[in-house]
Structure 1
Amino acid sequence: MDLPQELIDTIVDILHDDGPSLKSCSLAARTFVISARKHIFKKIEILSSSDTSQRFYELLCSSPHIAPLVEDLCIASVLEKFPVTCAYLDPSGDYMSGRALSLILPLLTELKRISIIENGDVSQTCVEFSRSWNKMELPLQSALANVFSSPRLEAVHLCGFVLESPCHLLSLFSKAAALKEMSLSRLYFTQRKGRHELWPASQLWRPKLQSLLLNYFNSADLCQYFVNPQIDLTHVRRLTLATVFPEQREKMVLATSLRHSGGVEHLGLCVAYNFETYISDLSPDLFTTNLRSIHFFSHSMVKLLGIFVKTCPHDSRLKYVTLDNFTDTLRQTKVPELYTAIDATVAHLPALKTIEMRWIVDEPSATPTPWEADVHTAFSSLMRRGILRITKFQWQGSLYPLGWE
């Protein structure tokens, strides 16, 4: 019995993230092929540990109807052996030095999202383990620059690169008028002179970002380049910052709330390891009109929570607070008066629905751990009111567990 094509399309759409089922559907009947193919090729991953790029290029040449289906491309490289000494990684001999990738990119005419992650699964975050943009072959540089400046590009994730300057970085995306999401991690710059020059006032920077992630604990402080009248941040609703400079963090948040836009709705802050040095207080300016959730990562979870509840305005419309932690530091913060103060202050934040404490563990276990018992005892009032939630998740080996490579 024949099924209406609309029903077939609906069935396949439900299976959009189930690869094996999509492949089975594409083999079931011709009526399934077009819908299944659309999802199968929507996202493509090219890994350095295989000949993916060459095989994918051959597929695109033999089946040109596939290229327009690709909307999301991820290019990931993982080093198996680290060089003892080097200025920065020389790509000669690896997947980015071949011709295939530079030939693939121009074929992907409908590309909307691109991620290029260098050395993404290791904790080495210094310049020696990053890729030099200028050492890539010119055809690949040109192909990537064309993708970055495409008026169709909506999202970009760039991690582990060495570029000439922040202005060089910004110039790569200056024409991407549709760009809404940007994630920049572990970026380094070779030019020392003029590093603090802003984006030229005479040049237009077209993106109207809605989501921005900047991680520069071990690289450049990029905030000072984004806080610029030529760069419009008033559309940003999701902002994630890993910085040791509180004043830069606050400038970024304020820049999103200019022109009465209300500011960010979801704010992520990664606090430096030396908590007492870099954060003795949180600025009330962080709590913009639109802020609905805030996500902290810190080694001093309870101290940070105490500072948060003290600083958060009572008329704030903030609903959700998440705190991530590497280790069991609650036992090192046994200050009953701090627990009492947190309990009492939370009562004056009527919009607040949930405080989630997330501990990173080597292996999740159903058996309650000592720190869970400590939390229940320390914050019994919050537990009874259903405000406090305890979560533990497995350590993945990334330096920043929030996904901030």
Structure 2
Amino acid sequence: MDLPQELVDTIVDILHDDTPSLRACCLAARPFGISARKHIFKKIEILSSSDASQRFYELLCSSPHIAPLVEDLCIVSVLERWHETSGFRDPSGDYMSGRLLSLILLLLTELIRISIIETGDVNQSCAKFSRSWRRMELPLQSALANVFSSPRLEAVHLCGLVLDSPCHLLSLFSEATALKEMSLSRLYFTQDEGRHEPWPESRLWCPKLQSLLLNVFSTDFCQYLVNPHIDLTHVRTLTLATPLPKQRKKMVQATKLRLSRGVEHLGFYLAYNFETRISDLSPDLFTTNLRSIHFFSPSIVKLLGVLVKRCPHDSRLEYITLDSFAGVLHYKKVPELYTAIDAIVDRLPALKTIELRWIMRDPSDAFPQWEADVYAAFSSLMRRGILRITKLQWQGSLYPLGWE
């Protein structure tokens, strides 16, 4: 007996993240195949150093019904060999030419999300390990610009790129009326600091961003955050992951001017010496609107003490997540610190969860001891049922998982 397509869609939707089952559905019956393909091709990842890109292009050409199913495209560019003597990248390992990628982009007319990620050297963070926009082939520049300005585009993630200037970067998305989510990580600019052109007063910037992640190596970029022609007042999720103190401090200042009142979810990356960077945590960031905060810090206990102190008494804060390359807590030496945290937590009635995340960087597993120390130090939080402890595996990047 034939089943209504709506019922088939409901059944297959349950399997949306189970690729083997979805492939099996394609072989079961045509109605199941129609529904399963929507999930199989919804998100596609292209590796620039793989000849699978050519096969994907051939599939799009031979099966035109597939291209409209692709809504989320992730382009990962694998590190190419770097010649220290010549100072130029060796493109011989990149199997996907700019022309091939541009042809793929022209076929994917229904994209909602796009990510362009240059893996670079995981132990380096500099422009020479990033992809240069100026050196891209012109057809690829044009195809990407069309995607970035599409009225359908809702989210973009750029990681490891070199562009002319912040103005050049923002102009690529000035017409993206549906853009709500933007993640800019490890971006660099060829123009010298202090010489970046201002945003033209006559030009509108159409996106109404709701989520913004910034890891941009430029202090001049901050002037665009306070430009009245670039509307950031709708941002509800803000992550400042820039590790360099000068850039981070200016971004915090810009945030206080334009964003802090409306931000509900705040992420902050505190690298280097904790004591000298705590001044970046302005009390103005901790408004009554905050619902969650996610921080990285080498000193996880001191940070927790500062965070709960700076939250207002009428705070609506529900979730605190702290990442760290955790070490010894020494809770027996400074018990007053933990006692003070317990007392302050009592003043946060909406708080539901404090999650401490251990990031492992070496094979030796000291997590059980660290976990036991945390439970002993924060025994009252554990009794209240609001303490969670999570173990994460370091990915080999300069930044912990989720910070770029």
Given the two structures, how large is their TM-score scaled by the length of structure 2?
0.92
Deviation of 1:52 after TM superposition, in Å, equals 2.3
Corresponding position of 2:397: 398
Farther off after superposition, 333-342 or 238-247? 333-342
Corresponding position of 2:102: 102
1:259-338 matched pairs, under 5 angstroms: 262-280=261-279, 282-331=281-330, 334-338=333-337
The answer as to whether partners of 2:23 and 2:36 remain within 8 angstroms in 1 is yes
Deviation of 1:334 after TM superposition, in Å, equals 4.0
Farther off after superposition, 153-162 or 386-395? 386-395
Q: What 5-or-longer segments of structure 2 have no aligned partner?
A: none
1:168-187 matched pairs, under 5 angstroms: 168-187=168-187
Deviation of 1:2 after TM superposition, in Å, equals 2.3
Q: Distance in 2 between matches of 1:85 and 1:238?
A: 43
Amino acid at match of 1:64: P
Deviation of 1:82 after TM superposition, in Å, equals 4.5
Farther off after superposition, 365-374 or 278-287? 365-374
Secondary structure at the aligned position of 1:349 is classed as coil
The answer as to whether partners of 1:372 and 1:390 remain within 8 angstroms in 2 is yes
Count of residue correspondences: 399
Deviation of 1:36 after TM superposition, in Å, equals 1.4
Deviation of 1:306 after TM superposition, in Å, equals 1.4
Q: What 5-or-longer segments of structure 1 have no aligned partner?
A: none
Corresponding position of 2:237: 238
Amino acid at match of 2:393: Q
The answer as to whether partners of 2:57 and 2:104 remain within 8 angstroms in 1 is yes
Q: Distance in 2 between matches of 1:365 and 1:22?
A: 39
Change (3 A) 1:84 1:330: farther
Q: Indicate whether 1:7 and 2:20 are aligned.
A: no
Given the two structures, how large is their TM-score scaled by the length of structure 1?
0.91
Q: Indicate whether 1:203 and 2:206 are aligned.
A: no
Corresponding position of 1:52: 52
Q: Distance in 1 between matches of 2:147 and 2:354?
A: 40
Corresponding position of 1:360: 359
Change (3 A) 1:250 1:364: farther
Corresponding position of 2:218: 220
Decide which of 228, 235, 249 is 2:252's aligned counterpart: 249
Amino acid at match of 2:204: L
Deviation of 1:271 after TM superposition, in Å, equals 0.7
Give percent identity, aligned residues only: 77
Secondary structure at the aligned position of 1:384 is classed as helix
Corresponding position of 2:38: 38
Change (3 A) 1:232 1:87: farther
Change (3 A) 1:246 1:281: closer
Q: Distance in 2 between matches of 1:53 and 1:192?
A: 36
Amino acid at match of 1:227: V
Q: Distance in 1 between matches of 2:85 and 2:187?
A: 19
Secondary structure at the aligned position of 2:75 is classed as strand
1:363-378 matched pairs, under 5 angstroms: 369-378=368-377
The answer as to whether partners of 1:177 and 1:207 remain within 8 angstroms in 2 is yes
Q: Distance in 2 between matches of 1:368 and 1:269?
A: 24
Q: Distance in 1 between matches of 2:89 and 2:10?
A: 46
Q: Distance in 1 between matches of 2:238 and 2:51?
A: 36
Deviation of 1:228 after TM superposition, in Å, equals 1.6
Deviation of 1:62 after TM superposition, in Å, equals 1.1
Q: Distance in 2 between matches of 1:142 and 1:264?
A: 34
Deviation of 1:363 after TM superposition, in Å, equals 7.8
Change (3 A) 1:98 1:248: closer
Corresponding position of 2:118: 118
Secondary structure at the aligned position of 2:143 is classed as helix
Amino acid at match of 2:391: K
Secondary structure at the aligned position of 2:153 is classed as coil
Aligned CA RMSD, in angstroms, stands at 2.4
Amino acid at match of 1:40: I
